[in-house]
Structure 1
Amino acid sequence: FLWLFITSFKTTPEIESVHYHLFPEVFKLSKMWEVWTKLGFGKYYINTLIVVIGAIICAVVFNALLAYAIAILKPAGYKIINGLVLLGYMIPSALAIFPLLLQIRNFPLGNLINTYFPLWFAFGAHAYYYLLFKDYFEKMPSSLIEAARMDGLSDLKIFFRVVFPLSRPIMGVVAIFAMTAAYSDFLLPYTVLQDTKMQTVMVAIYNLGTTTTVDSSEFLMLLVISIIPQLILFIIFQRQIMNQSVNSGMKD
């Protein structure tokens, strides 16, 4: 990233020169803003923000509800449901893209191409997030659930009033993972959001890179702009991400 950051501030002749220099002759931080305004990159970040927010909500709510049902309520056939989720986790995402697109095109309520709904559910409904919630719920003291039931709370109220508020640490981890996946993915937004006005950051960079309106210097600057948000998030939440990565590989 450091090399990319330094090179992005060079001019195109400097980049293409046979005489290599590590640092640019003129280092202008304003170049980042100039590229941003010239290409109107703000609208792509707004589109990406819409996708990311929807993905986070779906990832937290739906996976938490499923994990609550499997880990705590344990209805009839819960082992089969758990096995099916694990089976889906074993299927590579690249193999699932074609049947997913067929479902998006042939959805009973209408064609969902050029809508954000498929991206929200695709990035949110992930077996890994379900497993994180399930492992967290299984470690909760059963006395909390029993006490809530003795107070007359229904299963749904127990979830929203007891389990959900106590799940903020794992909710934060799942939100970070979902945000990263939704922000950095290219293939699904590229195939679903065919309207150029709805493109996400990664799709916009690809399309701009294939045109002649963006030179090599500006293209490298676009890459830097796209990486900075992820880098900031990783620095801020590094401890939570690393702790969860270590804990996911350990058993009590």
Structure 2
Amino acid sequence: MTKTRHILTSVVMVPLAGLMAVPFYYIVVNTFKTQEETANAPLALPEHWVFDNYTNVFQNTGIFQSFLNTVYVTAVSIFLMLAIGSLASFGRITGRSRVSKAIGGILVAAFVIPGQATLIPLYRMLVGVHLVDSLNGLIVIYACGSIFCYYLILGYMRTIPAELLEAARIDGAGPFRIYRTIVLPLIRPILVTVGVFQTMWVWNDFITPNVFISSEDQQTLVLQVYSAVGQFTTDWPSFMTLTVIVLIPMVIFFIFMQRHIVSGLVNGSVKG
């Protein structure tokens, strides 16, 4: 029965994996073609392998500065999201007041509002504090993703035995010490899982930088990809090359972190 199940799984998954690989093949293979060859035979292998596209991208675009901008925004945003989300979750499970419940209800309402609906109010607010066209402004906006982190971490944190926290209080530990020495080590799997999801979101996000960033020296990698799209023509080889460069760090990151994603979700589902 197990062997039959494995065969059926392979029969279903192998074609699906091949189907998912077609767009990636399409992007990669066209980075080694000229504009004319890309237009004439987009799915065929290159007749003559051209490596100039990568050279031109690194020489003629601000890819290095955009990479540093993206790393800075992503790293600081993820740190803030995890810190705020975990602290808010800790306060929610330890605080039983009406105020904490009311704040939880407000977060529920904020969570269901599409981010696109708040772009104009956010823009006006950032203009008022001079954070438009600023990487720090992007970080402030991405920090709002703490709401998503809060809900995932809250569900995981509720599996921590209340007796454990109470014993720490009896021993004289304060709230921050309990959070730092007991809660943080126990919720590490879900922190890693949430961190991976939010990293991929921030790294690949296009709408937010496109709205709030206008200077070339403040652009993220995704905006560099969009720079290859002209008003009347598109440099498809450069567009594909930039896309591959943006994707490579995330593919490597996901390959190394997928084990932690699975373990975090599984542990959270079986505890308690």
TM-score class, shorter-chain normalisation, is 0.7 to 0.9
Deviation at 1:89, TM superposition (A): 1.0
The match for 2:255 among 235, 247, 250 is 235
Deviation at 1:45, TM superposition (A): 0.5
State the distance in 2 between where 1:21 and 1:160 align. 53
State the distance in 1 between where 2:27 and 2:136 align. 34
Runs (5+) with no aligned partner, structure 1: none
Note if 1:57 corresponds to 2:88.
no
The match for 1:121 among 140, 148, 156 is 140
Deviation at 1:117, TM superposition (A): 2.6
The match for 1:5 among 28, 32, 37 is 28
State the distance in 2 between where 1:204 and 1:212 align. 18
State the distance in 1 between where 2:42 and 2:138 align. 42
Is 1:72–1:138's contact at 8 Å kept on the other side of the alignment? Answer: no
Deviates more, 1:80-89 or 1:123-132: 123-132
Deviation at 1:29, TM superposition (A): 5.6
Match of residue 180 from structure 1: 200
Match of residue 240 from structure 2: 220
Provide, for residues 54-113 of structure 1, a one-character-per-residue CA deviation record: whole Å limited to 9, x for no partner: 11111110111111111233333222111111111111111011111121112xxx3111
Is 1:62–1:125's contact at 8 Å kept on the other side of the alignment? Answer: no
Note if 1:100 corresponds to 2:122.
yes
Letter of the 1:15 counterpart: T
Match of residue 136 from structure 1: 156
Runs (5+) with no aligned partner, structure 2: 1-23
Letter of the 2:169 counterpart: R
Deviates more, 1:36-45 or 1:146-155: 36-45
Match of residue 148 from structure 1: 168
Partner-residue secondary structure (3-state), 2:98: coil
State the distance in 2 between where 1:121 and 1:148 align. 34
Deviation at 1:213, TM superposition (A): 10
Deviation at 1:186, TM superposition (A): 1.2
Distance 1:221 1:211, change over 3 A: farther
The match for 2:64 among 3, 21, 42 is 42
Query: Larger helix proportion, structure 1 or 2?
Result: 2
Match of residue 130 from structure 2: 111
Match of residue 3 from structure 2: none
Match of residue 221 from structure 2: 201
Note if 1:67 corresponds to 2:86.
no
How many residues are treated as equivalent by the alignment? 248
Letter of the 1:117 counterpart: N
State the distance in 1 between where 2:106 and 2:271 align. 22
Distance 1:20 1:8, change over 3 A: closer
User: After the TM superposition, which residues 7-26 of structure 1 pair with which residues of structure 2 at under 5 Å, given as runs?
Assistant: 7-17=30-40, 22-26=44-48
Distance 1:54 1:26, change over 3 A: same
State the distance in 2 between where 1:138 and 1:52 align. 28
Letter of the 2:244 counterpart: V
